[in-house]
Amino acid sequence: MPGSETAAATDQRFDVNLSILFTELPLLERPAAAAAAGFTAVELWWPWTHAPVPDQSELDALKKAIEGAGVHLVGLNFYAGQLPGPDRGALSIPGEESERFRANIDVAAAFAESLGCRALNALYGNRVEGLDPAVQDELALKNLALAARAADRIGAILLIETLNKPESPHYPLVSAPAAVEVVDRVNEATGLGNARFLMDLYHLSMNGEDLPSVIEQYTAKTGHVQIADNPGRGAPGTGSLPLEELIGGLRKAGYDGWIGLEYKPGDRPSAEAFDWLPAEARAAR
């Protein structure tokens, strides 16, 4: 983004993903670091990559750290295996991984509810070699319906995300239409209407999609947006994506929700990776 004045003029709400930024710090120190950088909202991947049901003491400690920092948790992933890493989701993988996802549903929803979080993200899961994709899709729909119902019980939405094929070659949802089709299937299956598209502009750009067209077609079905520049998945201005224009397009299309900063800080402390964003755009509710 070339100028802070235009960034501020977008009048959007930005939050920090603490699973990709401030990772040079222990988990429990990251909420306070985000607050010190001027942010009032954060989001998280499921922090316990090997524990869909962690000890209650760990959940309590993270809740205390978030509340103590005075930041709002606006988004939380369900258990999705090792992130970052090769797993890329669990809910469509038969056997132990799917069972771990189901065990996590109520735990994640209860944690989100305790912090007023109203968006839960469910990563689909890689294709399994030798297994009929239709079997995985059937399992995914059942598990996503369970997740949507749990989200509905706490007044939250369920997010379904597109990843990108170069980095996640076995992940099946690598286009906006593919993810939105799943959103529609889940809403039809549950009748709740609380499934939404997670529009990650970095992943979509890596897939070569026409981002203005995606914004025009799918903003109405979008529940959350995430950004990083491309190439490199760095901060806005480090690559070639016209993120200022794209965020403006989202605003014009009626999107007024959170925009998650899900980028790598590069060769510097995370606290120095926000110079593109004026202070008044960080402190939002």
Catalytic residue (choose from 43, 97, 209, 262): 262
List, for residues 179-206, the tens digit of each pLDDT value: 999 999 999 999 999 999 999 999 999 9
Residues 104 and 123: their CA atoms lie apart, in Å, by 13
| pLDDT at 3 exceeding the cut of 90 | no
Q: Residue 276 falls within a domain, yes or no?
A: no
Catalytic residue list contains 262: yes
- Which H or E run includes 45? none
List, for residues 139-191, the tens digit of each pLDDT value: 999 999 999 999 999 999 999 999 999 999 999 999 999 999 999 999 999 99
Q: Residue 283 falls within a domain, yes or no?
A: no
Cross-strand bridge partners of residue 225: 199, 259
Helices 133-153 and 176-190 meet at what angle, rounded to 10? 60
Q: Residue 185 falls within a domain, yes or no?
A: yes
Q: How many domains are there within the chain?
A: 1
Token couple for 159? 């997010």
| pLDDT at 2 exceeding the cut of 80 | no
Q: Residue 144 falls within a domain, yes or no?
A: yes
Q: Residue 277 falls within a domain, yes or no?
A: no
Domain that includes residue 151, residue range: 4-267
Closest by CA position to 221, among listed 252, 260, 182, 248: 182
Catalytic residue list contains 188: no
Q: Check residue 276 and report its DSSP letter.
A: T
Catalytic residue (choose from 43, 97, 161, 209): 161
pLDDT of residue 87: 67
Q: Where does residue 221 rank: exposed (0-12), middle (13-18), buried (19+ CB within 10 A)?
A: middle
Q: Residue 275 falls within a domain, yes or no?
A: no
User: What percentage of the chain carries pLDDT values higher than 90?
Assistant: 91
Q: Residue 282 falls within a domain, yes or no?
A: no
List, for residues 197-247, the tens digit of each pLDDT value: 999 999 999 999 999 999 999 999 999 999 999 999 999 999 999 999 999
Q: Residue 131 falls within a domain, yes or no?
A: yes
Judge whether 202 and 227 are in contact, CB under 8 Å. yes
CATH of the domain at 87: 3.20.20.150
